[in-house]
Chain A
Amino acid sequence: MAGAGAVRAIRSRIRSFESAAKVTTAMQLVAASKMRRAQDRALASRPYSDRMRSVLAQLSGYAASADPSELPPLLQQRPVKHFAYVHITADRGLAGGLNANMNRAGASLVLEHQPLVERVSIAAVGRKGRDFFRRASFPMLAEFTQLGDYPGMAQILPIARVIMDDYVNGEIDQVFIGYQRFVNTAVQRPTVRQILPVTAPEGDTGPSVDFLFEPSPQQLLETLLPRYVEMQIYEAVLDAAASEQSARMVAMRAATDAANEMVADLTLTYNKARQELITGELLDIVGGSAALEA
């Protein structure tokens, strides 16, 4: 039979689960509102990225006919000696398996390429992924943390600059990017793909139009390609931000549900124990008075 101390202990556990549920509920609400804003930002970038892809698809058609050695540097393919990987994760956890899944996907990409090249380097965006690759002692090309909940283009440009400079200088020969693609609130998918050398988007080039180019198609391509790389990184970072918030929202909702379930279970146990305690005390009193009357 549970004593008065045990009953009090259960009561205090109930309280602590209740306050945990309050915290996770608040975090869930915060994540939900941040997710909406992050999604809006991802949507707001769509018109630019869609048009950029269609323009680049059309323009690269004109430059393709040129001599391969005259292609802009960002399009030039060469034997891969130094492989670089831009790994995008969140700065913070409490987002379910989001960061762990991304790290796993990143690790398997890197391990797949490692035997084929002389060197592999990591450019880490986000603390979780940086810590992961640092622990595995991979050389870091660059680190970018604390981009905030709503990263802007201005914060992406340094990332793009580092990678493109190294690519053009021949420091690195191929670059992949990995991020959690936002599919919907419940589903985020680790996605990896090549960003350098640029593979021009194939798309509906529409009816072939006889364009005037000012300046030449090659020069225009050199203007457009860096922006295309920047845009792809920006898109990935925005997707990762929306994924982070939605994963956190879902994780916090699960935590709230689990805490509430614990509270319900414990309340049942608490009531039973309290009832037993009272019954025991009553029996003592009844037993005592019966003994007196006897």
Chain B
Amino acid sequence: MPLSLSVVTAERTVLQRDDVQRLVVPTSEGQITVLPHHAALMSSLGYGEMLAYVPGEIVAMAVFGGFLQVANDQVIVLADAAERADEINEERADAARQRAQQRLAGQHTGPEALNVLRARLSLERSLVRIKVARRRRGSGVPSMAER
């Protein structure tokens, strides 16, 4: 029996499927794979790529923090933010990556510390988006060289 998956944010339902055969989730403790009959689990989410294997396709999503519950083949993802690959604008994500990298190349101390943290998070988010967007184009495993 396949998994039933709901990926929801406070603002909308990002994905709702009942035919998920395999799910790869970035938890805060590391990436895990959920198969049918997985043990009941509660975990928090990190930033990263989430992959839902459904018949004939892999639905790729970028998730940015939140909460995960697995129980009785029902998977609930309460994401702080989540986007499907088809919703991501790769050019914008790439522009955001460049901006964040430029900012990080600058000052690192004093009152700039908060901005550095912000830039680092922004960089991380844009890298996740780029990775997920590339997956949609079918280029398989994205190259890690740009990190």
Contact = CB atoms under 8 A, between A and B. Distances in A.
Nearest to A213: B42
Contacts of A214: 27, 29, 41-43
A47 B69 contact: no
Interface stretch (A10-18, A21-29, A220-228): A220-228
Nearest to A215: B29
18 contacts: A47-B8, A48-B8, A48-B9, A49-B10, A51-B76, A52-B67, A55-B67, A55-B69, A55-B78, A58-B69, A59-B42, A153-B10, A209-B40, A209-B72, A214-B27, A214-B41, A214-B42, A227-B78
B41 A212 contact: yes
A234 interface: yes
Q: Which of B12, B28, B42, B43 has the largest number of chain A CB atoms within 10 A?
A: B42
A234 to B, nearest CB: 5
B121 interface: no
B29 A152 contact: no
Interface string A31-71: 00000000001001101110110010011000000000000
A273 interface: no
Contacts of A48: 8-11, 13, 78
Interface size classification for chain B: 20 to 34
A230 interface: yes
B8 to A, nearest CB: 4
Interface string B54-82: 00000000000011010110001010100
Contacts of A293: none
Nearest to B41: A212
Interface string A193-234: 000000000000010011111110101100110010011001
B89 to A, nearest CB: 18
Contact of A211 (B9, B29, B40): B40
B39 interface: yes
Given A51-B76, A215-B29, A230-B10, 13 more contacts: A45-B12, A47-B13, A48-B78, A52-B67, A52-B78, A58-B42, A58-B69, A152-B11, A153-B9, A211-B42, A213-B42, A214-B42, A227-B78
Contacts of B16: 47
Contacts of B72: 209
B41 A211 contact: yes
Contacts of A41: 11
Contacts of A211: 40-42, 71
Given A152-B11, A214-B27, A230-B10, A220 B40 contact: no
Interface string B1-37: 0000010111111001000000000011100000000
B41 A45 contact: no
Contacts of B10: 45, 48-49, 153, 230-231, 234
The 5 residue pairs across chains A and B that have the minimum distance between CB atoms = A48-B8, A209-B40, A214-B43, A223-B44, A211-B40
